[in-house]
Amino acid sequence: MNNIREYLNTISYFIGLTESEINEITQHSRLYRFVAGEILFFEGDACRGLWVIERGAVKIYKMGSDGGEYIVHLSGDGDSFNDIAALDGGITPANAAVLSPELTVWLIPCAVIQAILTQNPQVALNAIRLLTRRVRTLVHQMEDLAMHSVGVRLARFLIHQAESASSNPVGITRTTIAAHLNTTPQTISVILRELEASGAITFNRQHIQIINEGVLRRIALLNT
């Protein structure tokens, strides 16, 4: 797709755009293509704008003082990222790198986003709702890290992946899952075998399939 105009109505941010606002975004947005492992930006970089994924997957991550990587968020088709910096014009709060073999992504400049937010209450409300969902997700992540075992966290992660196509991108490996759940790839492998033995999933090197969601939800300590 060479024109973001055709894509805007699929993005929750931009429900309620006027024709002139669509034209403004179309005129100033730029399409980029990356390959696996490429860095889009580093924590502390000046913000270039709001990124919107057309196809592919990105990990948003922080680096610990020990050099360890913690994945804050996984973004897939139709997701936006770097929202906070794009909205307040500040520096980027985390790193972003490509997970999928290829990534096609649009960049909408900060000035364009901020101008539309001041002019269009519906788009401003969309942004508030999206950021609220992000905050809730981060709160749940912190609760899971503090209160639940890796087995529970992995079961919840798999359920979330199954429920959201955009958060189930190609390129998620056991190493990626481990960095997201604050554990090791070896631990993930052990728990996957336990989940398979329970009858909740089957898996191989490339794919994890839920075969009994009820069992998986009980392991995840979620209501069935």
Quote the pLDDT of residue 49: 94
Phi/psi-derived region of residue 221, left when phi > 0, alpha when psi is between -120 and 50, beta in every other case: left
**DSSP assignments along 5-45, one per residue:** GGTGGGSGGGTT--HHHHHHHHHH-EEEEEETT-EEE-TTP
Average pLDDT of the segment spanning 99-128: 92
Confidence band, pLDDT 50/70/90 cuts, at residue 204: confident
- Written as six digits, the tokens of 208 are 């994890």
Q: Is 67 left (phi over 0), alpha (psi -120 to 50) or beta?
A: left
Asked if 22 and 8 touch (Cβ cutoff 8 Å), the reply is: yes
pLDDT of residue 51: 94
Q: Three-state SS for 116?
A: helix
Q: Give the other-Cβ count within 10 Å of 90's Cβ.
A: 12
- Residue 35 has what pLDDT? 96
Token pair recorded at residue 110: 């900060």
**Six-digit token string for 23:** 């034209």
d(CA 70, CA 23) in angstroms, rounded, equals 38
* pLDDT surpasses 80 at 75: yes
How far is 188 from 27, CA to CA, in rounded Å?
45
Run of H or E including 95: strand 95-98
Q: What is the pLDDT of residues 6-65, one digit of tens each?
A: 778 778 888 888 889 999 999 999 999 999 999 999 999 999 999 999 999 999 999 988
What is the largest distance, in Å, between two alpha-carbon atoms of the chain?
A: 57
Q: How confident is the model at residue 2 (pLDDT cuts 50, 70, 90)?
A: low
Give residue 165's pLDDT.
Answer: 53
Q: Taking all residues of the chain, what is their mean pLDDT, rounded to a whole number?
A: 88
Please spell the DSSP secondary structure of 189-224, one letter per residue. Answer: HHHHHHHHHTTSEEE-SS-EEES-HHHHHHHTT---
Confidence of residue 139 (pLDDT cuts 50, 70, 90): confident
Contact 26, 106 (CB under 8 A): no
Q: Where do the domains of the chain lie, and which CATH numbers do they carry?
A: 4-140 (2.60.120.10), 148-219 (1.10.10.10)
Are 169 and 74 in contact by the 8 Å Cβ rule? The answer is yes
